[in-house]
Amino acid sequence: MVNQELYDAIIVGGGPAGLTAALYLARARYRVLVVEKDRFGGQITITHEVVNYPGVEKTSGEALTETMRRQAQNFGAEFLLSEVTDLDLSGDIKKVTTSRGVLRSFAVMIATGANPRKVGFVGENEFRGRGVAYCATCDGEFFTGKELLVIGGGYASAEEAMFLTRYATKVTILVRKDAFSCAKSIADEVMAHPKIKVLFNHELKSVEGTDMGITKATIFNNKTNESFEYSAEGGDTFGVFVFAGYVPNTSLVKDKVALNEGGYIITNQDMLTNVPGVFAGGDVCIKSLRQVVTATADGALAACAMEKVAAQMHEKTGLVPEVPNAVRKAPEESRASLAPEAQAGSFVSEDMIPQLNAVFERMGSKLILEVTKGDSDKGLELENAMQELSALTDKLEVKEGHESECLPVVRLLKENGEYTGLAFHGVPGGHEFTSFVLSLYNAAGPGQAVEDADKVRIDAINKPIKMQILISLSCTMCPDLVVAAQRIASLNANVSAEVYDLNLYQDLRNKYKVMSVPCLVTNEEDVSFGRKKMSELLDHLAKFA
């Protein structure tokens, strides 16, 4: 019996492991869905240059994983941008609860990756966002013309230190051990760079400074047991970038699958966990090397094993998930079916159309995109982008905004012209494209599902709260905060959430002394840094409500 509401496999996480598994499963004509809460591609998307992936001489992490995603999609893999909030891994049919409903499948793969690990030096939390950073691609530009300390001795610290030399005047790498743990070729390149100095057997113990940034650091030599103070030439402020490994994102499966003492998922050679039908892959697993190539290998192994699970379940249950028609078409045929205007556009690409259409179809009402171009070239780019979106649906209309503003902004208005409290200052591309599309869905209704407890807290806000979210389009950590803030604002008229591309808003960067993103400014006075999920953001807003 064909079943439209069932999947052969659901993959939680859209990094290289998940995308590879989706490609293999879809090509084998199984119905597979990849659920990702942020942006498809995973941690590698923040890597500027990838030169060690076999068969690809040189590319960026974002370009490499986007190719993987397109390959999987062309074979019929389905994709959903949503947060997984719970898993029921018992029985033959697993249940995956997301912010957009409950999904069911025969097999589940956990590919949720890992987040940067904090070191724990004195001042790390205090100066986060004002000197301490964890993403070179997101925050490197903020340190142009300054000295930098880089913490870590692995592949990430070596690669990111090289990347940071394009901004910094000097980079000093502190390696806790007596050698790098990455490939010798990479280590040799780092050691030979004229802007880089490497201190082996050294650890960062503390940082000090002012509201303008870090001015002093205490560094410990663990071989001689001696400490010394580091300061930048001329007494200038300097930055600290931490690349000291990762913490696995396994909170979703804690007490549901077996983990080791470090919190990583334990699997066998087929990437199967201790729970039948539940697999894992990528950085969330135990492994000696965390690279794109090992993640893709995990995905291929898991997919082949999941195929067998799905085939067995077809026979056992008599249920066969209905494979989308797109699988039965050649990729060229599928592309040719798009409308001509959908294939053109510089803002909306062809492979975005199916996901956008799914959002537009669910929007409960029309929206007005009020565009103020300002007097910069970005204004015309913003207007063209919004015109491209509105051409895809009758749910959106573009209207000219306030010409008194000098920088571009798009505000979301209800059909009657009432302001929704949601706006984007700049052009919502890069990592913010998805969060902008979600803002349309949230503003027009019904919007993303919200936990009952969070909804009660949102409804209880009875004082005006103005949120300004300062972001960079290259930041992978920004969308979490943006989506949470805009969802709250869409549900409570007392709250507004406006997003600012800091590359355009130098005045805000200087006013709030921002050296890392995302940065949340509440009521134009309270400043905090780092990604926040819905519950964490509500905790933060409680003192203003």
pLDDT digits (tens, 9 = 90+) for 413-444: 999 999 999 999 999 988 899 899 999 999 99
Query: How far apart are alpha carbons 408 and 500 in whole angstroms?
Result: 10
Q: Which range is least confidently modeled, 18-22, 30-34, 349-353?
A: 349-353
Q: What is the mean pLDDT of residues 182-196?
A: 94
Selecting from 3.40.50.300, 3.30.930.10, 3.40.30.80, 3.30.70.580, what CATH number does the domain 338-541 have? 3.40.30.80
Above 70 in pLDDT, residue 328? no
pLDDT category of residue 405 using cuts at 50, 70 and 90:
confident
- E strand residue ranges, 303-426: 320-321, 367-372, 396-400, 409-414, 419-425
pLDDT digits (tens, 9 = 90+) for 107-126: 999 999 988 888 999 999 99
User: Percent of the chain, pLDDT > 70?
Assistant: 94
Q: Which pLDDT value is given to residue 345?
A: 54
Give ranges for CATH 3.50.50.60 in the chain.
Answer: 2-115+248-332, 132-244
pLDDT digits (tens, 9 = 90+) for 236-282: 999 999 998 888 999 999 999 999 998 999 999 999 999 999 999 99
Q: What is the mean pLDDT of residues 74-89?
A: 91
Q: Write the CA distances from 185 to 177, 526, 542, integer angstroms.
A: 18, 46, 51
Query: How far apart are alpha carbons 507 and 398 in whole angstroms?
Result: 28
pLDDT category of residue 212 using cuts at 50, 70 and 90:
confident
Parallel/antiparallel/unpaired status of strands 114-116 and 246-248: antiparallel
pLDDT category of residue 63 using cuts at 50, 70 and 90:
confident
pLDDT category of residue 327 using cuts at 50, 70 and 90:
very low
Burial of 192 (0-12, 13-18, 19+ CB in 10 A): exposed
pLDDT digits (tens, 9 = 90+) for 228-245: 999 999 999 999 999 988
Above 60 in pLDDT, residue 336? no
Query: How far apart are alpha carbons 98 and 497 in whole angstroms?
Result: 24
Q: Which pLDDT value is given to residue 1?
A: 59
Query: How far apart are alpha carbons 431 and 477 in whole angstroms?
Result: 9
Q: Which pLDDT value is given to residue 329?
A: 38
User: What homologous superfamily is domain 132-244 in, according to CATH?
Assistant: FAD/NAD(P)-binding domain (3.50.50.60)
Above 50 in pLDDT, residue 85? yes
Report the Cα 113 to chain-centroid distance in Å: 11
**Mean residue pLDDT across the chain:** 90
Above 80 in pLDDT, residue 394? yes
Give ranges for CATH 3.40.30.80 in the chain.
Answer: 338-541
Tokens of 215: 């001015």
Top CATH class, 2-115+248-332: alpha beta
Query: How far apart are alpha carbons 274 and 411 in whole angstroms?
Result: 49
Find out whether 363 and 415 touch, Cβ atoms under 8 Å.
no
Burial 74-91 (b: 16+ CB within 10 A, else e): bbbbbbbbbbbeebebee
> Which DSSP helix (H) or strand (E) runs through 33?
strand 32-36
Q: Which residues does the annotation mark as catalytic? A: 135, 138-139
Above 60 in pLDDT, residue 338? no
Tokens of 337: 């079916």
Residue 492 half-sphere exposure toward CB, CA atoms < 13 A: 27
